[in-house]
Amino acid sequence: MAVNLINGRVATAGGVRDGLSVVIEQGRIVAVTPDRPSSGQDHDLRGRLLAPGFIDTQVNGGGGVLFNDDPSPEGVAAIAAAHRRFGTTGLLPTLISDDLDVIDRAVDAVEAAIAAGVPGVLGVHIEGPFLNVRRKGIHDASKFRVLDDDAVRRLTRLKGGRTLITLAPEMTTPDMIGRLAQAGARVAAGHTDADYPTMREAFGAGITGVTHLFNAMSQLQNRAPGVVGAALENQDAWCGIIVDGHHVDPVAFRLALRCRPHDRFMLVTDAMPSVGADSDHFFLQGRRITVKDGLCYDESGVLAGSDLDMAAAVRNAVALLGLDLSQVLAMASACPAAFLGLSDQRGAIAPGRAADLVALDDDLKVVETWIGGVRDAA
């Protein structure tokens, strides 16, 4: 039976509109209409904002689970369930630099979760271990290694979902980057000290993303534009941004937004197990990570991912970046969908798209979500 979502404010590609009904059936949106449907079951949104469900391409953990510690279908399901409460209807469980056998287990876990129909799992993000020690951040440099034929084979074998790989382009070759891209992976630059020419060459070789812009990369300087300069000049690659008020000063993001098309930015959380869990600490590869005041950091003060959820990222972006709500909602849904090559399936409230939706109150807090048309109250 069709379900009619009525009496809501609907976020469309043309802006937020009143008076529309969204009809969902068999997991998909079948109509967006100004007319009150004459059949089906009505669901009253009570004036709330109905937006496309959020898509997060960088989720290290949630609900007390760290993907590195529990690369299993059950671990994936627990992480996805924790983030659903905050409007995330699609995500990539993200593995922080680890051994190749752990990468194998992570890929297997995501493949099994997708096959089992775990709601919200779109693929996997392998962040490292092909990174530069000079920009390691919280990653364990003892795990770093060279990208070789064996690693390429392991990284590109996921069936049924998207694979995102973050690497430092200066630690490999354009040929290897091209091989990953040709095998269907999305390749992003991150934890990199590449200079501007290397980054330009990497974009040409197949890199289409930049992982957490400004963080863990060579910065824009007067005679050395670095990764940041190359990313700001590039008009096509998608840049993930962590808008928590801690990772990057909002002024830097506002300047970046003046340099490139807004639809090439996407909100990410870089979330750790603390999201959706009541905990003041967790452990990452043997190191104690403190969670306090929205920050995650080790004993040296190095940031370790974030305690951010996507709904909070949306609220922060509206408050800090000078964008209107429609632009921010696109950065949380349509933009990551496009980056993953899923625009024809997700990221918009339009006929034919998956019924992955979020209802938000006036404070932009999550009230309800739908994944594949299945409703869950927050």
- CA gap 377, 80 in Å, rounded: 15
98 is catalytic: no
- CA gap 221, 283 in Å, rounded: 35
> Of the listed 270, 307, 309, 356, which one is catalytic?
270
Helix and strand numbers (H, E) in the chain are 10, 21
Residue with tokens 């109250």: 377
Q: Is 343 exposed, middle or buried (0-12, 13-18, 19+ CB in 10 A)?
A: middle
Structure tokens at 125: 């993000």
- Indicate the pairing of strand 15-25 with strand 3-12: antiparallel
3-state SS assignment for residue 27 = coil
Are 189 and 202 spatial neighbours (Cβ–Cβ below 8 Å)?
yes
Q: Is 137 exposed, middle or buried (0-12, 13-18, 19+ CB in 10 A)?
A: buried
- Indicate the pairing of strand 28-33 with strand 61-62: unpaired
**CA nearest 55: which of 302, 364, 369, 373?**
369
3-state SS assignment for residue 160 = coil
**CA nearest 168: which of 197, 146, 153, 142?**
146
Structure tokens at 233: 């000049």
Interacting residues of 258 by C-beta distance below 8 A, sequence separation 6+: none
Q: Where are the beta strands (DSSP E) in 144-198?
A: 162-167, 186-189
Catalytic residues: 270
